[in-house]
């Protein structure tokens, strides 16, 4: 995996990929968060001209990642879809076809954006996890608020889209804390909230098409 | 009945108006009479007299005279003012003679604050005289009733035109006025303006291309005096910084709480901080003092304004929120903390005191750092010479046009060829090509050039008759909620846990705070408790206010005329020093500068080199503005690195710039006139500047005006959240998928225009290229502390 940065947590090997995804080698699982399918279509429906290629490209990137990693499973940490107004017939058909053609099991943890769209999601060939998913030493949840009160697992969350701002650029990050990691949003058309600095152990910047950069010092907090 | 009353009055309406003036103990001024005569001849024009000279009456009495003679229904006079707060005063000023003269007509205000019930009534039937803002006017035009409502309009008055002209707000108004002339072809246009650099062209912008303006300029002498508070010890006075709190005791001693006073500051943070400091020094003034800036709750602002008028409030610390015309004749003294960075603005602020016809005004300037004394001196000298700066004027911005097209589609609908001809009568769009028009039309009709990527997009479309209409009432509703060109960041309400509302604050600022963080707002030190939807819950902070988060205010760069004046002053400084106390004060610093390095005269350019632990510095002092230096610094860095590889970090402020290299760099050797050549300027600029990041800054407004980022959505907040995307995110998405998008082009052009439209950078380079270069090696940086400068992106080659 070109440009990946590998880590070992609880004896498991994880690769952070420059494409804002995480690969768990032992389970052959590719993990992404916050795909927000149909977001640009939601905007278009509201009379806001956002280019629609975002959807196609996000899906293509997922297909490529799954196949280049030969993953058996694609795990989406919530917010697979954005809003029902963007789930037009055309978009739904495209997503359905993509699910059918993907060469891996798809598991979606239900995020706040997914909840109102359960009917559509359950019509797709994928596994829905209502609250989260525990697997071995790891737990996967959408929102940090959904985590079990007591857990000695290392946890992974999505939801907040952590970013840092540097030289006018918005850079999504993998944010690692002592007990958990917050994943960057997968979709290109997602904003983000500033990285929570309290308790931060290490942050990694996925630089698309290049590599994962280890953040050695945080830029000043304005 | 109404008609009978008017007939009975018989006598000439102008005689009655003259009598009314006499009854007030006034006499119409010559310029007012001239304006009335021109208006009676059906001409249009610009009345250009100092603030507080009686412009309003020069503009409205012709309409009143006509209404005294003939009864008329429908909107007769449309009075547009840029400030909501001003509209109430105008309404009162017009209502008084109307009621005295027994003129039974409806005079109403319509702004964002107008009650829904009145707005509904107005929608059915506009009053005879309507006072409104440019945005509310644009909104009225976006309703299908507009054609019928404006059919009768005889006159439109645009007040404080100098505030609007050439900016996007003014340009949207130009388009609205073109629409108005389409509905009522005989409507007369009168623009009212204070100090203005180029009245002819400003008038043409208000009138459109089809009429020739009459310019009326009254020779009313309203002298402006600048007074200075000079620090006792210039030596120990800070050389940088912008709060200026070292001047606190001096200022407080100078204040007289018995006299009504305004203290202007340049940023809201500065206003908050000074308010607290003055209160700390004079706790007994607590009930007499108030704070006024754009983020303070509307009701509190109104309270402060009326308190100032009634005399209950004696001292107001404010920002530009009180710059404009609201009449406070009670105000006796005006202070300005920090340089106002422009000549016109200083005059405007000074004019807040004794806002009465024919009286002189005085402003007391309080410097926040030593070199501001220079800026003040330059301002004074420019005012004495009668100079004002001209503002750059934008050309045919696409975003404003896009918004206008949607408004027209939401209103009466439009046929493209017809609307194109109409838009070209708006002076700012006179050069618009059909191709450009089609581009913008395609943008709002299809979303963009590549139709397949906008398959779900809809906004306006042709009806069976071929007229463009907005597609759904809901889209029209959203559009109307977001009409206008002045947008601030998304605003959140600031509220106490107990419920009292304090005002609005930018979301961007709050998002940087964590629970328990303290910040100063509305004159109080607050502690963030929680953010709930669009509300920030806070409580009073018990702890001291030292460690507080400040929120960024935009600091204005100094104007070109002012920087020119500063260079002059440096040259003449030795002679002038005896006569001018502020120069005598700054002279202490200049003498030391002359000893250690040099004080450049206006034909010279000073360069200083210096070595510190940080690396090798070059300081260059063109004394132009921050804007020019922002373009110049990367350009020089680029040209340097073509000669020798290096990495620089660049810092600029209003006086000069710093290039810092970690490695040793032969600055002295490479500083030759050629480095300031204007050959290949455009290419070098494109190669050196990070146009993309500048364009991104510019894109924020463009995205808002075009409707890509909407601030307001009706009712369902849930959907609003799904439609949130920052302008910078949209910029990235466009760059990736549609790099030739016209709005990106506009953003680039606007970014470049900051330097090119006035070709200010080019003029600067020519000046520097022929300047006598003085290079000094100095032991440590001292003249202009760049602590205060804005470090711009590191330059790497």
pLDDT of amino acid B630: 78
Q: How far apart are CA B702 and CA B709, in angstroms?
A: 9
Q: Does residue B202 belong to any structural domain of this protein?
A: yes
pLDDT of amino acid B420: 98
- pLDDT band at residue B684, thresholds of 50, 70 and 90? confident
Specify the higher pLDDT residue, B527 or B402: B402
pLDDT of amino acid A62: 96
Specify the higher pLDDT residue, B505 or B629: B629
Asked if B595 is an interface residue toward chain A (Cβ–Cβ < 8 A), one would say no
Are B733 and A85 in contact (CB < 8 Å)?
Answer: no
Are A82 and B733 in contact (CB < 8 Å)?
Answer: no
- pLDDT band at residue A207, thresholds of 50, 70 and 90? confident
Q: What is the mean pLDDT of residues B246-256?
A: 88
**B625 and B773 co-located in one domain:** yes
Q: How far apart are CA B136 and CA B721, in angstroms?
A: 26
Answer positive or negative: Cα dihedral of A167, A169, A174, A179. positive
Owner of token pair 């509220």:
B495
B201 pLDDT above the threshold of 60: yes
Specify the higher pLDDT residue, B528 or B512: B528
- pLDDT band at residue B508, thresholds of 50, 70 and 90? low
Domain of residue B374, residue span: 224-384
**B40 and B181 co-located in one domain:** yes
- Quick: pLDDT tens for B739-779: 888 888 888 877 776 655 446 788 889 999 999 999 988 88
pLDDT of amino acid B730: 87
Q: Does residue B545 belong to any structural domain of this protein?
A: no
- pLDDT band at residue A161, thresholds of 50, 70 and 90? very high
Q: Does residue B153 belong to any structural domain of this protein?
A: yes
Q: Which residues in chain A have Cβ-Cβ distances shorter than 8 Å to B448? A: 49, 51
Specify the higher pLDDT residue, B722 or A155: A155
Are B511 and A194 in contact (CB < 8 Å)?
Answer: yes
**B300 and B213 co-located in one domain:** no
Q: What is the mean pLDDT of residues A82-91?
A: 93
Element (H, E) at B8: helix B2-9
pLDDT of amino acid B717: 53
What 3-state DSSP class applies to A217? coil
Total count of domains within chain B: 5
What 3-state DSSP class applies to B791? strand
Q: Which residues in chain A have Cβ-Cβ distances shorter than 8 Å to B471? A: 47
Are A90 and B458 in contact (CB < 8 Å)?
Answer: no
Q: Does residue B733 belong to any structural domain of this protein?
A: yes
Does this model's pTM top 0.90? My answer is: no
**B783 and B663 co-located in one domain:** yes
Q: What is the mean pLDDT of residues A79-93?
A: 94
In chain A, alpha helices (H): 39-45, 53-69, 89-101, 118-122
In this predicted structure, which of A117-131, B81-95, B165-179 has the lowest mean pLDDT?
B81-95
Query: Residue B601 corresponds to which tokens in the numbers above?
Result: 């005269």
- The closest CB to that of A50, out of B512, B693, B733, belongs to B733
Q: What is the mean pLDDT of residues B602-609?
A: 89
- pLDDT band at residue B557, thresholds of 50, 70 and 90? low
CATH number at residue B99: 3.40.50.300
In B644-690, alpha helices (H): 667-670, 681-688
pLDDT of amino acid B761: 82
A41 pLDDT above the threshold of 90: yes
pLDDT of amino acid B452: 79
**B90 and B157 co-located in one domain:** yes
Asked if A194 is an interface residue toward chain B (Cβ–Cβ < 8 A), one would say yes
Q: Does residue B190 belong to any structural domain of this protein?
A: yes
In this predicted structure, which of A109-113, A138-142, B175-179, B644-648 has the lowest mean pLDDT?
B644-648
Asked if B447 is an interface residue toward chain A (Cβ–Cβ < 8 A), one would say yes
**B135 and B230 co-located in one domain:** no
- Quick: pLDDT tens for B562-585: 888 888 877 775 666 666 777 777
Owner of token pair 């120069």:
B583
Angle subtended by helix axes B398-410 and B691-706, to nearest 10: 10
**B213 and B238 co-located in one domain:** no
**B328 and B375 co-located in one domain:** yes
Owner of token pair 């110049």:
B632
- pLDDT band at residue A134, thresholds of 50, 70 and 90? very high
- pLDDT band at residue B324, thresholds of 50, 70 and 90? low
**B662 and B735 co-located in one domain:** yes
**B43 and B22 co-located in one domain:** yes
B151 pLDDT above the threshold of 90: yes
Q: Does residue B280 belong to any structural domain of this protein?
A: yes
Q: Does residue B77 belong to any structural domain of this protein?
A: yes
B263 pLDDT above the threshold of 60: yes
Are A90 and B512 in contact (CB < 8 Å)?
Answer: no
Domain A5-214 - what CATH class? Answer: alpha beta
Phi-psi region of B10 (alpha: psi -120 to 50; beta: other; left: phi over 0): left
**B772 vs B430, B451, B603, B679, B768, CA distance in Å?**
43, 58, 6, 20, 8
CA angle B611, B612, B615 (to 5 degrees): 75
Domain boundary assignment for chain A:
5-214
ipTM confidence score: 0.82
Answer positive or negative: Cα dihedral of A156, A160, A164, A167. positive
Q: Does residue B584 belong to any structural domain of this protein?
A: no
- Quick: pLDDT tens for B652-667: 778 888 888 888 999 9
**B163 and B280 co-located in one domain:** no
B110 pLDDT above the threshold of 70: yes
Are A191 and B453 in contact (CB < 8 Å)?
Answer: no
Q: Which residues in chain B have Cβ-Cβ distances shorter than 8 Å to A194? A: 511-512
B7 pLDDT above the threshold of 60: no
CA dihedral of residues A195, A197, A201, A203 (deg, nearest 10): 30
Q: Parallel, antiparallel, or unpaired for β A174-177 and A180-182? A: antiparallel
Q: How far apart are CA B19 and CA B3, in angstroms?
A: 22
**B28 and B124 co-located in one domain:** yes
B484 pLDDT above the threshold of 50: yes
- How many other C-beta atoms can be found within 10 angstroms of the C-beta atom of residue B493? 16
- The closest CB to that of B511, out of A82, A167, A193, belongs to A193
For residue A95, give how far its alpha carbon lies from the nearest alpha carbon of chain B (Å): 16
pLDDT, mean over chain B: 82
């Amino acid at each position: 995996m070109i440009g990946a940065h590998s880590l070992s947590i609880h004896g498991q090997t994880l690769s952070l990929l420059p494409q804002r995804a995480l690969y768990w080698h032992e389970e052959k699982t590719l993990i992404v968060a916050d795909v927000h399918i149909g977001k640009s279509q939601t905007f278009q429906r509201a009379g806001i001209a956002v280019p629609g290629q975002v959807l196609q490209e996000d899906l293509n990137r997922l297909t490529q990642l799954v196949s280049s990693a030969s993953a058996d499973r694609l795990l989406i940490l919530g917010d697979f879809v954005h809003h029902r107004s963007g789930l037009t017939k055309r978009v739904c058909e495209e997503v359905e076809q993509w699910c059918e053609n993907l060469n891996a099991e798809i598991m979606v943890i239900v995020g706040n954006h997914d909840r109102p769209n359960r009917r559509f999601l359950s019509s797709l060939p994928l596994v829905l996890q209502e609250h989260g998913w525990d697997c071995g030493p790891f737990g996967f949840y959408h929102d940090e608020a959904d985590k079990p009160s007591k857990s000695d697992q290392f946890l992974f969350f999505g939801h907040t889209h952590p970013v840092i701002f540097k030289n006018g650029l918005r850079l999504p990050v993998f944010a690692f804390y002592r007990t958990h990691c917050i994943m960057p949003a997968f979709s290109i058309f997602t904003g983000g909230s500033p990285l929570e600095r309290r308790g931060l152990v290490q942050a990694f910047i996925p630089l698309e098409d290049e590599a994962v950069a280890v953040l050695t010092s945080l830029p000043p907090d304005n | 009945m109404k008609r009978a009353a008017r007939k009975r009055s018989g006598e000439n309406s102008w005689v009655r108006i003259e009598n009314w003036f006499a009854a007030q103990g006034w006499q119409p001024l010559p310029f007012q009479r001239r304006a009335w005569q021109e208006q009676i001849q059906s001409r249009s024009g610009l009345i250009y007299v100092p603030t507080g000279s009686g412009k309003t009456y020069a503009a409205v009495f012709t309409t009143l005279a006509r209404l005294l003679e003939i009864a008329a229904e429908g909107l007769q006079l449309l009075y547009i003012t840029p400030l909501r707060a001003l509209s109430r005063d105008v309404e009162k000023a017009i209502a008084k003679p109307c009621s005295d003269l027994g003129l039974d007509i409806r005079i109403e205000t319509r702004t964002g604050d107008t009650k829904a019930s009145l707005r509904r009534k107005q929608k059915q039937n506009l009053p005879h005289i309507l006072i409104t803002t440019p945005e509310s006017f644009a909104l009225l035009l976006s309703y299908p009733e507009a054609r019928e409502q404006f059919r009768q309009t005889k006159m439109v008055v645009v007040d404080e035109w100098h505030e609007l002209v050439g900016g996007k707000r003014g340009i949207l108004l130009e388009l609205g006025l073109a629409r108005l002339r389409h509905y009522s072809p005989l409507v007369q246009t009168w623009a009212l303006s204070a100090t203005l650099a180029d009245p002819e062209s400003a008038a043409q912008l208000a009138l459109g291309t089809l009429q020739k303006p009459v310019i009326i300029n009254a020779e009313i002498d309203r002298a402006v005096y600048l007074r200075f508070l000079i620090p006792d010890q210039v030596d120990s006075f800070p050389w940088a910084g912008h709060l200026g709190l070292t001047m606190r005791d001096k200022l407080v001693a100078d204040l007289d709480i018995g006299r009504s006073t305004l203290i202007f500051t340049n940023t809201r943070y500065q206003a908050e901080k000074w308010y607290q400091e003055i209160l700390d020094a004079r706790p007994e003034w607590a009930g007499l003092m108030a704070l006024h800036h754009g983020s303070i709750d509307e009701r509190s602002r109104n309270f402060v304004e009326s308190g100032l008028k009634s005399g209950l409030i004696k001292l107001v610390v404010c920002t530009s929120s009180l710059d404009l015309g609201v009449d406070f004749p009670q105000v006796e003294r005006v202070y300005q903390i920090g340089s106002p960075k422009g000549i016109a603005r200083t005059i405007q602020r000074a004019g807040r005191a004794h806002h009465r016809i024919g009286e002189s005004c005085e402003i007391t300037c309080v410097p926040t750092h030593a070199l501001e004394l220079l800026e003040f001196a330059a301002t004074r000298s420019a005012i004495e010479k009668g100079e004002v700066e001209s503002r750059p004027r934008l050309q045919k911005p696409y975003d404003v046009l896009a918004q206008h097209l949607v408004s027209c589609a939401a209103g009466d609908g439009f046929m493209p060829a017809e609307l194109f001809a109409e838009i070209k009568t708006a002076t700012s769009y006179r050069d618009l090509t059909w191709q450009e028009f089609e581009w913008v039309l395609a943008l709002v009709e299809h979303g963009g050039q590549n139709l397949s990527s906008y398959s779900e997009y809809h906004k306006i479309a042709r009806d069976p008759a071929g007229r463009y209409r907005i597609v759904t009432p809901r889209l029209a509703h959203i559009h109307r909620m977001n009409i206008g060109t002045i947008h601030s960041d998304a605003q959140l309400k600031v509220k106490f846990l107990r419920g009292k509302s304090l005002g609005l604050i930018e979301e961007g600022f709050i998002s940087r705070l964590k629970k328990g963080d303290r910040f100063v707002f509305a004159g109080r030190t607050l502690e963030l408790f929680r953010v709930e939807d669009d509300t920030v819950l806070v409580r009073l902070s018990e702890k001291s206010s030292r460690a507080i988060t400040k929120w960024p205010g935009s600091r204005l760069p100094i104007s070109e005329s002012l920087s020119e004046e500063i260079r002059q002053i440096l040259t003449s400084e030795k002679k002038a020093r005896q006569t001018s106390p502020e120069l005598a004060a700054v002279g202490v610093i200049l003498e030391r500068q002359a000893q250690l390095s040099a004080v450049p005269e206006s034909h010279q350019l000073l360069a200083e080199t210096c070595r510190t632990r940080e690396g090798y510095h070059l300081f260059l002092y063109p004394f132009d503005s921050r804007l020019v230096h922002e373009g110049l610094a990367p350009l020089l860095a680029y040209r340097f690195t073509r000669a020798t590889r290096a990495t620089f970090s660049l810092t600029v402020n209003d006086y000069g710039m710093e290039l810092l290299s970690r490695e040793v760099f032969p600055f002295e050797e490479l500083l030759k006139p050629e480095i300031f050549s204007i050959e290949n300027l455009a290419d070098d600029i494109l190669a050196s500047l990070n146009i993309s990041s500048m364009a991104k800054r510019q894109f924020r407004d463009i995205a808002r005006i075009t409707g890509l980022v909407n601030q307001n959505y009706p009712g369902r907040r849930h959907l609003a959240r799904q439609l949130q995307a920052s302008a910078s995110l949209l910029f990235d998405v466009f760059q990736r998928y549609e790099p030739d998008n016209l709005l990106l082009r506009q953003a680039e052009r606007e970014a470049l225009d900051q330097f090119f439209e006035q070709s200010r950078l080019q003029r600067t380079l020519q000046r520097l290229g022929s300047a006598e270069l003085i290079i000094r090696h100095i032991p440590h940086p001292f003249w202009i502390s760049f602590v205060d400068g804005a470090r711009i992106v590191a330059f790497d080659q």
